[in-house]
Amino acid sequence: MKAAVADTLESLESYRLKDVDMPAAGPGQVLIRVAACGVGYVDSLVALGRYQVKPPVPHTPGQEVAGTVEAVGEGVAHLAPGDRVMTMTGKGFADYAVAAAPMVVKLPDALSFAEGASLPLNYITAMHALKDRGVVAEGETVLVFGAAGGVGSAAIQVGKALGARVIAAASTEEKRAFALAHGADLAIDTSPEGWRDRLKTLTEGKGPNVILDPVCGPLFEPAFRSLAWRGRHLVVGFVGGPIPALPSNLTLMKGAALLGVDVRQYLQYETKRAIGDLHQLAQWASEGKIKPPVGRVYPFAEFGEAMVFALSGQGTGKVVLKIAGD
C-alpha cells in the first residue's frame, strides 16, 4: 500500500509517498481502509519534530481517520467489515491504518468521510476543554479565540450543545462570518485598540464566563482581565506567537482560574473518558447538533501542500486529505 513516510523530521519536504507493508488487525484492533484523514496544525508540528513529544522515525503523519472497516481482530464484536467508521490512531496518511477497537466508532449517516476525519481530535479537545476543564453551565457565555480554525469551530458547536452563548473572536470579516454561519451567536474582531470595551458591550457589561484560547496572542491578558467573576480561561495552544505571561494577582482579583488543556495527556491518562466523549459527539452529530466544517480538501498525492497549509493557520475549518473515494 501507499503511505507518506519520512526518515527525518528536518522538513516537510522530507516526506514521500512510498510503498510499505500493509498492516494487520491484531487482537482488539481494527484495520481501516482510509477514505479521508484530517490534517491539523499539530500534525504539521509533529511531522517537523516541533511538538511536545517527537515521534520515532520513520514517521507517517495523520491521527484522525475516517473510512471503512476492512477487518477486525480477535475480540472485536461491535464492528464488522464494511462499517463506515471514524477514529483517532496513528499513521493515517496511508491507504490502510490500524486502530484500537474501543476508539473506533461508527460514522453517523449524516456525516461524510471528510466530515468524519474532521471530528475526532478537534471535538474531543473542545469537549475536554469546555465540559471537563471549563465546566460550562447552561446559559453561560463562552468566548472562543481562533473561532474559524479547527479547534475554534469545534468549540463553537460544542459550546452550543452544552447550552452556552458563544462569542467568536476572529481576525477577519470572512472568518467571523464563517464562525457565525457555524453556530456562534455573536462575533468580535481581534484588533487590540478598544477591544475590551467592545467585548464588554457584547456581554452587557458582565464579561465572558469561559474563554477558550488556542491562540494566546496579544489579547491574552486583556481577555483574562475581561472575565466575569469566577471565570475560567482555558489555554489550548500558542499559535499566536511567543508564549505570553500573566500577572498572578489577576486570578485573585477576578476569583478566576487559568486552566491548561492538554488533549494528548487526556487521551493518555483518561482514555475511557475520551472514548465516551467520542461516542457523545457521534450521537450529537446524528442529532444534527454538531457538523464539522470541512475546509480545503487535498488529494493524497498533495499531502505536503496540505500540511503546509494547515501550518499556516490561514484557512477556515479543517484541512482534509482525501485518500480514497467517498
pLDDT single digits (tens) 214-254: 999 999 999 999 999 999 999 999 888 889 999 999 999 99
Query: What pLDDT was estimated at residue 325?
Result: 65
In the chain, alpha helices (H): 41-47, 113-117, 120-127, 150-161, 173-181, 195-202, 220-225, 249-254, 263-269, 271-286, 303-312
Q: Is the dihedral of CA 207, 209, 215, 221 positive or negative?
A: positive
Q: What is the dihedral of CA 296, 302, 303, 309, to 10 degrees?
A: -50
> Are 320 and 298 in contact, with CB atoms under 8 Å apart?
yes
Neighbour count for residue 100 (Cβ, 10 Å): 17
257 Cβ contact partners less than 8 Å away, ≥ 6 residues apart: 231, 232, 233, 251
Neighbours of 6 (CB within 10 A): 22
Scan for cell 508540528, then name that residue: 45
Q: What is the DSSP string of 203-244?
A: TTTS--SEEEES---TTHHHHHHTPPTT-EEEE---TTSSPP
Question: Is residue 174 within 8 Å of residue 192, measured between CB atoms?
Answer: no
* Ordered alpha helix ranges (H), 57-149: 113-117, 120-127
User: What domains can you pick out in the chain, each with its CATH number?
Assistant: 2-118+294-322 (3.90.180.10), 123-263 (3.40.50.720)
Helix (H, G, I), strand (E, B) or coil at 179: helix
Strand pairing report for 210-213 and 96-100: unpaired
Q: Which of 137, 92, 80 is nearest to 118 (CA)?
A: 92
Residue 9 CB neighbours (<10 A): 19
pTM listed for this prediction: 0.93
Q: Is 5 helix (H, G, I), strand (E, B) or coil?
A: strand
pLDDT tens-digit map of 80-119: 999 999 999 999 999 999 999 999 999 999 999 999 999 9
- Going by C-alpha positions, the residue among 201, 197, 194, 199 that lies closest to residue 211 is 199
Instruction: Report the pLDDT value the prediction gives residue 113, as an integer from 0 to 100.
Output: 98
Distance CA 59, CA 69 (A): 23
- Residues 103, 106, 107, 109, Cα dihedral to 10°: -160
* Residue ranges of the chain whose pLDDT lies below 50: none
Task: Give the H or E element holding residue 103.
Answer: none
